[in-house]
Chains A and B, each alone.
Chain A
Amino acid sequence: MTTTARTGAAPPAAPARPDGGGRRPGARREALTGYGFLAPLLVLVGTFVAVPLLGAAALSLQRTNGFGEGTWVGAENYLRLASDPVFWRACLNTVLFTVIVTPASMALGLGAAVLLNSVLPARALFRSVLILPMAVSGVATALIGVLVFDQNSGIADGLLRALGLPTVDWQSDGVAAFASVVLVTLWWRTGFNMLIYLAGLQGIDAELIEAATLDGAGPWQRFRYVVVPMLGPSSFFLVIMNVIYSFQVFDIVFVLTGGGPQNATTVLVTYAYDNGFVVRDQGYAATIGVVLLLVSLLFTGLRWRTSRTRDLVG
């Protein structure tokens, strides 16, 4: 991940043939062999990614409940989307969720990684504890969240009550419900962020830190001007992963809040699911999916534009 240099033993390019053909003997055969090896993957990607994507795009131009032939309606679903307040609320919630969860889970992950990269006693145990949530499925995580944030009999309000503090309406207050989704997600995602940062930290040459120390840099300066820049590729990878995950969030919201109260936690994927499988307005649901795809593509495009520099240390 931290290097783009090729170290393989690829032979130097063959000189051009004197007859001007410009191809070395056997090149066509080698290309065919290459495509032959690629073919299984292309078939799989084509069948399970490209065809469904094109199908969804076609569905977004139809009015259909999924049974029989749909009716082609052109851009009607897209126009409806533009004037649908719940869609815009879902967009706002999705962006807000992304903007909060991405930096927060990275900051917590970095903090934990720095702590667990030091000479902390029992650090192997702490590392395992932090990584454990990664092994739990999203639905199970959300069910744990329900036990914690149930506002009648949940653990969170029980603790607040025991401390003599006012309880929080985790399920009937929109802001608190959104906070509960964020908190459960952070619990789930911090371990992954820590793992990536821990790997990045262990790849930093100790001599660099030592040199900075000899140059008179204090702990904060060493962290800010040596460690953080050296973690550039890890941070870049985590930004991409966290943003993509946040845009696709579904299971936590679906189980923990169901999108409520009053759409306070509805996100794009839960809204698409409701339209597709509850209302059975599958054309409209596909339209939301296509918009989500376009946003993801836009973000991926930005990533490609910046990746040439951001994928290098320093």
Chain B
Amino acid sequence: MPLTRRQLLSAGGVAAAPFALGACAGFSTSGDDASTDEGGITFTTWGTDAELAGFRAAIASFQEAEGATVTLNAVPYEQMFTTIDAQIQAGNPPDVFRVPYYTFGSYAGQDQLLDLTPHLPEGFADRFTPQAWQAVQREGAPYGVPHHTDTSVILYNEDLLSQAGVASVPTSIEDAWSWEEFLEVSRRVKGSLPDGAWPFAYNWQGNGVTRWLSWLFEADGRFLEDDLVTAAIDSDAGARAVRFTQGFFTDDLVPPNSSVKSSTYAADIWYSRTTAMNFAGAFLVPDATSTLDFPWGATFPPRDVRSAGDFGGNALVATKDVRDPGLVARFLDHVTEREQMETFCAGASLLPTRADLIESGIDFEVRPELAPVFLQQAAAVLPQDSGQVASPSMSAIITVLQDELERAFVGGRGVDATVQALSSGIGEATAR
């Protein structure tokens, strides 16, 4: 049937009407829905099933105690911070959100978070370890609560280590291998492996590049002075850490595709038996337990001048314009109570930030015998280490670390040139 122009225009108008109406009505988002909940708290997070179950349990007990509603908005990690940034820019952020310690400074430094000082109970800081409390400070005031932490240890394939004649591994942090002993073990393992397999891979891919800082801290170095502005990496310790880690690649101890900007994660390489040892956080334990069909264990990462580790994990923060700061502070208080934190950490295989839980220990629901290794290693993180990672410029510093270490590891650039490039890059990042 031929259409007349009038019929065509009418049909076009009808077809366009929904779009026009949609444009008038605006688009709603889950954030909008959540923020309309007057008198409650909106809480945006990402999480594994176990983590979300832990959050839901804590929310349920808080709601029961307070009679206030907490609306949980779970989003995929990949969308988490583009969503949060867009909501902050639109003046419509959630009341509370979850943030890695290395990203915390970006929000606190830009005056987007609530200073919790007047809202938290007396002595609140005392429940946390000093390094955990330091990780949520900005200019001496708390802008969040340390909800949990995680740190890397060595997970090893028992078959591949025993095949190389490595009969025992350190069982306490005091007995951890020195850097030199670790190299010796790695070389021995390499000698027993076929082509296409390596002694270990390090988990510094992606934003994990902050884990390279563990080597710097073990050499007793720093990347920022106490003012969190002046670069401090141009030092003997900085050069020693760069030289030692560059040696992983020049001595062929790690797979060439395991550098800091690789899209392949160390854990996946270890899963495929391409490496004998893997540096990994406690969060990997449940997945490794259900995935791997070879026997594996955990031991302490090597030490140099001292033991150290990355202060991984996440804080919970409140945005600066929350409607009811008192209620939000009570929520943050509640989720860091002993019972709530223990349930969360045991279920999700993460480490507590409360000093009493570190003291008494915690039983993971999966492979509980490994928990002491992670807990002892987490205690080796010093407040001065975690405090540096809370720098407001950390996002830009991460990019500097990725670019410059990649040039050293894959591009073959020398140690001195790398340390100088890191130093000037960090200086420029903090000056922005």
Interface residue? B264 (CB, 8 A): yes
CA–CA, A172 and B206, complex, Å: 15
A172 to B257, Cβ gap below 8 A?
A: yes
CB of A232 closer than 8 Å to a CB of B? no
**At the interface, yes or no: A279 with Cβ under 8 Å from chain B?**
yes
Contact between A279 and B196 (Cβ–Cβ < 8 Å)? Answer: no
B259 adjacent to A261 (CB under 8 Å): yes
Contact A47 B23 (CB under 8 A): yes
Count contacts between A and B, CB distance < 8 Å.
108
Q: From B13, B81, B82, B410, name the one whose CB has the most chain A CB atoms within 10 angstroms.
A: B410
Do A66 and B23 touch (CB < 8 A)?
no
Known: A40-B23, A66-B88, A170-B257. 9 other contacts (CB 8 A): A10-B5, A37-B12, A37-B13, A37-B16, A67-B89, A68-B111, A150-B257, A260-B406, A262-B406
Bound Cα distance from A9 to B2, whole angstroms: 10
The answer to whether B110 and A150 touch across the interface, beta carbons within 8 angstroms, is no
Q: What's the least CB distance linking B7 to chain A, in Å?
A: 12
A171 at the interface (CB under 8 A from B): yes
| Bound complex: CA A288 to CA B223 (Å) | 30
Q: Chain B, 1-39, contact with A by CB distance < 8 Å: what is the 0/1 string?
A: 010110001001100110110010000000000000000
The contact size tier of chain B is 35 or more
Task: Tell me whether A293 is interfacial, beta carbon within 8 Å.
Answer: no
Q: Is B259 touching A172 in the complex (CB atoms < 8 A)? A: yes
Q: What are 6 inter-chain pairs, A to B, with CB distance below 8 A?
A: A9-B4, A40-B16, A65-B106, A150-B264, A153-B272, A167-B196
Q: Are B396 and A280 in contact (CB under 8 A)?
A: yes
Chain A hits for B106, CB < 8 A: 65, 280
Whether A40 contacts B19 by the Cβ 8 Å rule is yes
A41 touches B (CB below 8 Å): yes
Given contacts A153-B274, A258-B262, contact A67 B20 (CB under 8 A): no
Is the CB–CB distance between A261 and B262 below 8 Å? yes
Note all chain B residues with C-beta closer than 8 A to A255. 263
CB within 8 Å for A278 and B261 given contacts A262-B407, A262-B411? no
Decide if B85 touches A66 in the complex (CB within 8 Å): yes
B-chain residues with CB within 8 Å of residue A146 when the two chains form the complex: 263-264
Once the chains are docked, how many angstroms separate the CA of A278 from the CA of B82?
10
The minimal Cβ–Cβ distance linking B194 to chain A, given in whole angstroms, is 12
B223-249 residues with Cβ-Cβ distance < 8 A to A are none
A40 is contacted by which of B17, B81, B206 (Cβ under 8 Å)? B17
A121 at interface, CB cutoff 8 A: no
A residues near B118, Cβ cutoff 8 Å? none
Q: Is the CB of A65 within 8 A of B410?
A: no
Are A259 and B398 in contact, CB atoms less than 8 angstroms apart?
A: no
CA distance A173 to B274 in the complex (A): 19
Asked whether any CB of chain A lies closer than 8 Å to the CB of B112, the reply is yes
> Does any Cβ of A come within 8 Å of B395's Cβ?
yes
Are B23 and A67 closer than 8 Å at their CB atoms? no
Chain A residues lying within 8 Å of B398, measured Cβ to Cβ, are 278
Contact indicator per residue, chain A 218-258, by CB within 8 Å of chain B (1) or not (0)? 00000000000000000000000000000000000001111
A167 and B257 alpha carbons, distance in the complex (Å): 14
**Does A27 make an interface contact (CB < 8 A)?**
no
Contacts of A8 in B (CB 8 A): 5
Residues of B within 8 A of A262 (CB): 261, 406-407, 410-411
Chain B residues contacting A41 (CB-CB under 8 Å) are 16, 19
CB neighbours (8 Å) of A261 from chain B are 259, 261-262, 406, 410
Cβ of B192 < 8 Å from any Cβ of A?
no
A211 to chain B, nearest CB (A): 34
* Chain A min CB distance to B324 (Å): 23
Instruction: Map CB proximity to B onto A23-42 as digits: 1 under 8 Å, 0 otherwise.
Output: 00000000001000101110
Decide: B256 and A65 in contact? CB cutoff 8 A.
no
Whole-angstrom distance between the Cβ of A213 and the nearest chain B Cβ: 38
Q: Which positions 260-284 of chain A face chain B at CB distance < 8 Å?
A: 260-262, 274, 277-281
Q: Return B232 CB to nearest CB of chain A, in Å.
A: 21
Point out the residues of chain A lying under 8 angstroms from B347, CB to CB. none
* B81 contact set on A, CB distance < 8 A: 277
> Whose C-beta in chain A lies nearest to the C-beta of B107?
A67
B430, CB-defined interface residue at 8 Å: no
Instruction: Tell me which residues from 334 to 368 in chain B have a Cβ below 8 Å from any Cβ of chain A.
Output: none
Chain B residue numbers with a CB within 8 Å of A44 are 19, 23
A151: chain B residues within 8 A (beta carbon): 255-257
Interface residue from B4, B19, B257 paired with A171 (Cβ < 8 Å):
B257
Do B256 and A260 touch across chains, with their CB atoms under 8 A apart?
A: no
Q: Which of chain A's residues have a CB closer than 8 A to the CB of B274? A: 152-153
- Complex interface: chain B residues within 8 A of A153 (CB): 269, 272, 274
- Determine the distance from Cα of A153 to Cα of B198 in the docked complex, in whole angstroms: 13
Instruction: Quote the shortest CB–CB distance from A164 to chain B (angstroms).
Output: 14
Q: Does A43 contact B (CB under 8 A)?
A: yes
Tell me the B259-287 residues at the A interface (CB within 8 Å): 259, 261-264, 269, 272, 274
Please judge, given known A-B contacts A41-B16, A152-B269, A262-B411, whether A169 and B395 are in contact too, CB under 8 Å.
no
What is the CB-to-nearest-CB distance from A154 to chain B, in angstroms, rounded to a whole number? 10
At the interface, yes or no: B399 with Cβ under 8 Å from chain A? yes
Query: Given A10-B5, A152-B272, are A259 and B255 neighbors across the interface (CB < 8 Å)?
Result: no
Contact of B112 among A67, A259, A274 (CB under 8 A): A67
- Report the separation of the CA atoms of residues A167 and B263 in the bound assembly, to the nearest whole angstrom: 19
Kindly provide the distance from the CB of B396 to the nearest chain A CB, expressed in whole angstroms: 5
Digitize B387-431: 1 where CB-to-A-CB distance is under 8 Å, 0 elsewhere.
Answer: 000000001101100000011001100000000000000000000
- A257–B264 CA distance with the chains assembled, in angstroms: 8
- Whether B410 contacts A171 by the Cβ 8 Å rule is no
CB closest residue in chain B, given A33: B9
Nearest residue, chain B, Cβ from A142: B263
Which residue of B is nearest A153, CB measured?
A: B272
